[in-house]
């Protein structure tokens, strides 16, 4: 993916009712247990700090050019109480519309969407 596509993804994500949780792997990292992302979470993602470019001298956690892949789950759990099962808020349809609108290639695995920056062969 190029910088334009990453920026379009961030722009589209900001239009969702919540910022979906994600995990990100940079090209210089080894894949660990942390990178497994196959269940719904209670937290939202930090799309500002975690995925950005070098702009204005600021250094961000993972610049666009260093992203090997990002796994996104456009669902979030909302706590309902101790005796009531958590509510699932699902924005998958809106998320997929964003990917289609900006022609962002992706793969889907059990509700997790993977967007590759670089693909190892």
The rounded average pLDDT for each run of 10 residues, N- to C-terminus, in the chain (121 residues) is 86 90 86 76 69 45 78 90 89 96 94 88 63
Q: Say how many CA atoms lie within 13 Å of 46 toward its Cβ.
A: 5
pLDDT of residue 57: 40
Can you list the alpha helix ranges (DSSP code H) found in the chain?
3-13, 92-101
Predicted TM-score (pTM) of this structure? 0.81
User: Residue 45, class by beta-carbon neighbours within 10 Å (0-12 exposed, 13-18 middle, 19+ buried)?
Assistant: buried
pLDDT of residue 56: 41
Q: What is the C-alpha to C-alpha distance for residues 30 and 54, in angstroms, rounded to an integer?
A: 23
């Amino acid at each position: 993916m190029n910088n334009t596509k990453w920026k379009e993804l961030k722009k589209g994500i900001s239009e969702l009712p919540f910022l979906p949780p994600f995990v990100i792997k940079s090209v210089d990292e080894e894949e660990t247990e942390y990178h497994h992302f196959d269940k719904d979470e209670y937290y939202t993602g930090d799309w500002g700090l975690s995925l950005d470019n070098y702009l204005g001298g600021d250094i961000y956690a993972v610049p666009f050019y260093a992203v090997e892949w990002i796994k996104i789950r456009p669902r979030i759990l909302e706590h309902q109480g101790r005796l009531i099962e958590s509510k699932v808020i699902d924005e998958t349809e809106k998320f997929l519309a964003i990917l289609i609108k900006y022609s962002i290639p992706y793969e889907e695995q059990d509700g997790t969407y993977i967007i590759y920056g670089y693909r190892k062969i």
